[in-house]
């Protein structure tokens, strides 16, 4: 009887355990893949190169995700952001979320990054310089419902701390938010910041997928 119950337990739970522990490899993007989000935001793959992909970000409200760049080069195999493009000019990517994607992913892994930049919005935009440290972690699988449908997604937590600035204003401040990455969609389907972050401008930061199309 005990042996039978153990076998039943294996049948029910082993597939879940395997799914939870497996590595999530980087998606293969194709020209024309496109994701549309709340907040008038959209992202589209416009070019595929041997070493990565060029993604075009819309001019919508999701400025914190675009970091002010309209075209970004994501390098394989990790899909880290390494360059931004302005026409034919390519410049090193030096702002937030450079390593938001750090494939392959698996539950429990953590990774870090740091950067310095000028403010891209608010009273200090284009003037004061700020230094930040970033911490990323893959927390686990969740079933997420969005306007585009329901998806099984890997929850990624992002923490950013201001470690210095030319003005001294805001040093030590931290923000935290979560992303949910769906292998089915090949991109994040949702982003949510802590409730106290930019209370009056939630539409700039919290977003979810409304539709998408993937080329084969």
Q: Tell me, what's the pLDDT at 120?
A: 61
Instruction: Please check whether residue 151 lies inside any domain of the structure.
Output: yes
Contacts of 97 (CB under 8 A, 6+ apart): 65, 67, 81, 134, 158
Residue 193, pLDDT score = 85
End-to-end C-alpha distance for the chain, whole angstroms: 49
The residue to which tokens 């979560």 are assigned: 178
CA 63 to centroid of chain Cα atoms: 13
* Residue 108: per-residue pLDDT: 96
Nearest to 186, CA basis, from 59, 64, 101, 67 = 101
* Domain at 168, CATH number: 2.40.360
Residue 174's contacts (CB-CB under 8 Å, 6 or more residues apart) are 159, 160, 161, 162
Domain count, the chain: 1
For 68-74, the CB contacts below 8 A with 24+ separation are 68/95, 68/120, 69/93, 69/95, 71/46, 73/49, 74/101
pLDDT of residue 20: 46
Q: How far is CA 183 from the centre of its chain?
A: 13
The verdict on residue 11 lying in a domain is no
Does residue 90 sit within a domain?
yes
Is the residue at 10 inside a domain? Answer: no
Give per-residue pLDDT as tens, 63-81: 567 777 889 999 999 999 9
Residue 158 covered by a domain: yes
Pull the structure tokens for residue 79. Answer: 């899909």
Q: In this predicted model, what pLDDT tens digit does every residue of 121-143 receive, in sequence order?
A: 555 565 678 899 999 999 999 99
Beta pairing, strands 129-146 & 187-193: unpaired
In a domain, 14, yes or no: no
Print the domain residue range for 135. 31-213
Residue 166, pLDDT > 80, answer no
Per the domain annotation, does 9 fall within a domain? no
Is 154 contained in some domain?
A: yes
The answer, yes or no, to whether residue 41 has pLDDT greater than 90, is no
On the question of a cis peptide bond just before residue 104, with omega within 30 degrees of 0, the verdict is yes
Q: What is the dihedral of CA 144, 147, 149, 155, to 10 degrees?
A: -20
């Amino acid at each position: 009887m005990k042996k039978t119950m153990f076998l039943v337990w294996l049948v029910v739970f082993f597939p879940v355990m395997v799914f939870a522990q497996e590595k999530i490899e980087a998606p293969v993007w194709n020209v024309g893949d496109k994701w549309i989000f709340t907040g008038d935001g959209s992202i589209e793959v416009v070019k595929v190169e041997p070493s990565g992909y060029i993604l075009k970000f819309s001019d919508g409200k999701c400025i914190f995700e675009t970091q002010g760049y309209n075209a970004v080069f994501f390098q394989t195999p990790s899909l880290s952001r390494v360059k931004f493009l302005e026409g034919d000019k390519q410049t090193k990517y030096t702002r937030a979320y450079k390593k938001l994607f750090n494939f392959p992913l698996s539950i429990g892994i953590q990774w870090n990054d740091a950067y310095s930049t000028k403010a891209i919005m608010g009273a200090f935009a284009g003037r004061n310089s700020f230094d930040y440290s970033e911490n990323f972690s893959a927390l686990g699988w969740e079933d997420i419902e969005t306007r585009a449908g329901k998806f099984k997604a890997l929850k990624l937590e992002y923490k950013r701390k201001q470690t210095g600035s030319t003005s001294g204003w805001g040093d030590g401040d931290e923000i935290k938010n979560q992303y949910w990455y769906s292998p089915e969609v090949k991109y994040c389907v949702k982003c949510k910041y802590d409730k106290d972050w930019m209370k009056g401008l939630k539409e700039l930061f919290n977003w979810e997928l409304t539709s998408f199309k993937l080329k084969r």
